[in-house]
Amino acid sequence: MHPHLWYPYTQAKTAPPPLKVKSAQGIWLELEDGRRVMDCISSWWVNLHGHAHPEIAAAIYQQATTLEQVIFAGLTHDPAEQLAEQLLQHLPSGLNRVFYSDNGSTAVEVALKMAYQYWVNQEVKLVEQRGTFIVFSGAYHGDTFGTMAVGARSLFSQVFSDLLFQVEYVPFPATYLGDTTVQSQEDAVLELLKTKLEQLPYAGILIEPLVQGAGGMRMCRTEFLQRLRQIANQFNTLLIFDEVMTGFGRTGDWFACVKSNVQPDIICLSKGITGG
Ligand SMILES: Cc1ncc(COP(=O)(O)O)c(C=O)c1O
């Protein structure tokens, strides 16, 4: 361990020393001791096109010589406008505004704020009752306070429990090929959801569509997402897709929402969008 670094998700007293990476190319990490390691997690789902991709490197170089960071309030620029326009071409047509944030956690954090503020703007008197989100057991949405609150409690978030706002959990109907119980599982989850929504007007329903990533690669069906959409419409609540992990091709289409033919009200993107 380096004496001046804390590594994430790592118990410094007991963890083995981290492998030292000197460079990376495509899927291969080149270690200091000469070994090569295959990066099967694309460095936490980020480097979709492989490491040190020449076109990406050239584009970054080109952009850095033209314009790098510039304040985005009161100013705009072509890269931001072009990226938004190109992104929207791959998303369901009802998703037509982009807000740029920092990373996966803050993408979700912003989505929660947007949803809450939407209700504040819509129906001021009801806002107190719109403070709660429905989320799924086993979910992972990030490590800020808001995203820890809407995720499953884990070893890493447990210590902060007292500081996290309340959410309602429903089971994630995880399934697998040949699963004969999937329909009844989904029915039970949706019935439970309906019962909750009949009792209270919630701020929204947040889900990792098709796959819970960090929660253990747990899959759900497109049919479930379609029925979830119907219920969100029926009870006038917002449906938020956290596609931080599933986005940019990971489920076989550009996005899980495209693959499942479901248009969420808000989609959270990160990781793959950077290409590393
Ligand atoms: C589904 C999902 N949402 C949010 C996040 C948080 O993203 P970040 O690590 O960029 O904050 C992750 C990270 O793995 C994720 O898988």
Long-range Cβ pairs for the range 110-113 (8 Å, 24+):
110/268, 111/206, 111/240, 111/242, 111/266, 111/268, 112/146, 112/147, 112/150, 112/203, 112/204, 112/206, 112/240, 113/146
The CATH number given to whatever domain includes residue 134 is 3.40.640.10
Q: What is the pLDDT along the chain (276 residues), one digit of tens a residue?
A: 889 999 999 999 999 999 999 999 999 999 999 999 999 999 999 999 999 999 999 999 999 999 999 999 999 999 999 999 999 999 999 999 999 999 999 999 999 999 999 999 887 666 567 889 999 999 999 999 999 999 999 999 999 999 999 999 999 999 999 999 999 999 999 999 999 999 999 999 999 999 999 999 999 999 999 999 999 999 999 999 999 999 999 999 999 999 999 999 999 999 999 998
Q: What is the domain count for the chain?
A: 2
Looking at the structure, do residues 128 and 206 belong to the same domain, yes or no? yes
Which domain-ending residue is among 46, 70, 94?
Answer: 70
Ligand 1 pocket, residue 186 CB under 6 Å: no
- Its pTM stands at 0.96
The CATH number given to whatever domain includes residue 4 is 3.90.1150.10
Residue from 147, 244, 250, 268 to probe ligand 1 pocket by mutation (most atoms less than 8 Å from CB): 244
Q: Which domain holds residue 188?
A: 78-274
Catalytic residues: 9, 140, 242, 271
Which domain-ending residue is among 53, 70, 87?
Answer: 70
Q: How far is the CA of 63 from the centre of ligand 1 (A)?
A: 26
Rounded to whole angstroms, the Cα distance separating 158 from 22 reads 35
Q: Which atom of ligand 1 is nearest to the CA of 143?
A: 11
Looking at the structure, do residues 262 and 229 belong to the same domain, yes or no? yes
